[in-house]
Amino acid sequence: MEILKVKNVYKIYEGKVPFRALNDINLTVEKGDFVGIMGPSGSGKTTLLNVISTIDSPTSGEILLNNKNPHTLKYSKLALFRRRELGFVFQDFNLMDTLTIGENIVLPLTLDGHKVSYMDERLNEVAQQLGIKEILNKRIFEVSGGQAQHAAIARAIIHSPSILLSDEPTGNLDSRSSKNVMELFENINRNNGATIMMVTHDPLAASYCNRVIFIKDGELFNEIHRGDSREKFYQNIIDVLSLLGGENNEFSAVRIK
Ligand SMILES: Nc1ncnc2c1ncn2[C@@H]1O[C@H](COP(=O)(O)OP(=O)(O)OP(=O)(O)O)[C@@H](O)[C@H]1O
């Protein structure tokens, strides 16, 4: 089943010199897919994620989520659509420091006016699965970055969204926490059937995806699929990144000498 369809999408940022950030992007994401988006800095990854998540709108073309185009919805309906159909995980966690971790996690359900008993039940299930039961009463400043990101992922999946969108989820984490977070994504993809789209610079993080789409200068460049071996996939990702090039400091470890 198709969850997401991006059809002939263009994004032009107007300005003194208009800039074409997305140039005829076409892609489809099936239910249960786990897709990585990679590309050099400025290639349009965040722009793509933003037009899919309805934070921004495309200049032309169509985005369909479950066969509906959210960009045609009025503001109030759009807010509801976002809240019910989408889950977000950001680099800087975006958790509220005035709430406990548990209160943060149930926020999407609170906003939808669910019964307290149902919210408690879901919180318990999700916290159990993510191994964060012992931090539910803590606040953000009392937990590690890795734990905060686990809480952010719990919040993003508690309402079982159609698609989980994530921009650099491991960007602020050390390598061990990054690995834990990617194993968690892999786990919710495989065991809960969650559909995930993730932008990342990190080839190791990307190697947990089922496929990786590369973009360059706002255009699709290549797409590769994970086979049986994550290690092999990691190597393939690095090979494509070296073909892509990028800025001098970017992908420095993986450039062809
Ligand atoms: N609001 C804006 N107005 C004008 N240009 C913009 C705007 N937002 C992004 N751009 C430009 O569009 C291009 C794509 O930006 P985008 O943030 O999507 O790239 P990215 O691949 O996510 O980069 P990074 O990896 O550095 O985050 C860049 O050249 C950027 O300067």
* Confidence band, pLDDT 50/70/90 cuts, at residue 149: very high
- What's the pLDDT score for residue 76? 87
- What's the pLDDT score for residue 250? 52
- What's the pLDDT score for residue 255? 38
pLDDT tens, residue by residue, 3-52:
999 999 999 999 899 999 999 999 999 999 999 999 999 999 999 999 99
Q: What is the ipTM of this complex?
A: 0.95
> What's the predicted TM-score (pTM) here?
0.91
The preferred substitution site among 9, 11, 12, 13 for testing ligand 1, maximizing ligand atoms within 8 Å of CB, is: 13
Residue nearest to atom 3 of ligand 1 (CA): 13
d(CA 88, CA 137): 22
Mean pLDDT along residues 216-227: 96
The preferred substitution site among 16, 25, 45, 91 for testing ligand 1, maximizing ligand atoms within 8 Å of CB, is: 45
Residue nearest to atom 29 of ligand 1 (CA): 42
Ligand 1 within 6 A of CB of 23: no
- What's the pLDDT score for residue 163? 97
Ligand 1 within 6 A of CB of 70: no
* Confidence band, pLDDT 50/70/90 cuts, at residue 246: low
pLDDT tens, residue by residue, 107-126:
999 888 899 999 999 999 99
